[in-house]
Amino acid sequence: MRKAIPVLSIVPVLLIFGGGLSPREARASNGIVGVEICMGCHEDHYKTYMISTHSKKGIPGSPANQAGCESCHGPGAAHVEKSGERGVGIFIFSKKIADAKSKSAKCLSCHGEGRDLAFWDMSRHKASDASCDNCHTIHSGTRKNLRAAQPDLCNICHRSIRMQQNRISHHPIREGKLKCTDCHDHHGGFGPKMVKANSLNELCYQCHAEKRGPYMWQHPPVEENCMNCHTAHGSNHAKLLQSKAPQLCQSCHDWTRHPGTIYTRFETFQGTATGSKNRMFARACLNCHSAIHGSNAPSLRGKTHVR
259-278 positions binding ligand HEC, by CB under 6 A: 259, 278
CB of 28 to ligand HEC, least distance (A): 16
Q: Identify residues 206-225 at the interface with ligand HEC (CB under 6 A).
A: 206-208, 211, 219-222
**Residue facing ligand HEC at closest CB distance:** 84
104 near ligand HEC, rule: CB under 6 A? yes
95-104 b/e (C-beta count within 10 Å ≥ 16 → b): eeebebeebb
Cα–Cα distance between 148 and 136 in angstroms, integer? 9
Torsion of Cα atoms, 225 then 229 then 232 then 233, to 10°: 180
Torsion of Cα atoms, 188 then 190 then 193 then 194, to 10°: -30
Q: Identify residues 165-204 at the interface with ligand HEC (CB under 6 A).
A: 169, 171-173, 177-178, 180-184, 186-187, 193-195, 200-201, 203-204
The stretch near ligand HEC (CB under 6 A) out of 3-11, 23-31, 60-68, 264-272 is: 60-68
Distance of CA 11 to the CA centre of its chain: 45
101 near ligand HEC, rule: CB under 6 A? no
31 near ligand HEC, rule: CB under 6 A? no
Cα–Cα distance between 206 and 183 in angstroms, integer? 10
Instruction: Identify the residue among 26, 33, 81, 291 touching ligand HEC (CB under 6 A).
Output: 33
The stretch near ligand HEC (CB under 6 A) out of 3-11, 21-29, 238-246, 265-273 is: 238-246
203-225 b/e (C-beta count within 10 Å ≥ 16 → b): bbbeeeeeebbebebebeebeee
Q: Show the site string, 111-140: x = touches ligand HEC by CB under 6 A, - = not.
A: x--x-xx--x---xx--x-x-xxxxxxxx-
Cα–Cα distance between 280 and 277 in angstroms, integer? 6
The stretch near ligand HEC (CB under 6 A) out of 1-9, 23-31, 72-80, 265-273 is: 72-80
291 near ligand HEC, rule: CB under 6 A? no
234 near ligand HEC, rule: CB under 6 A? no
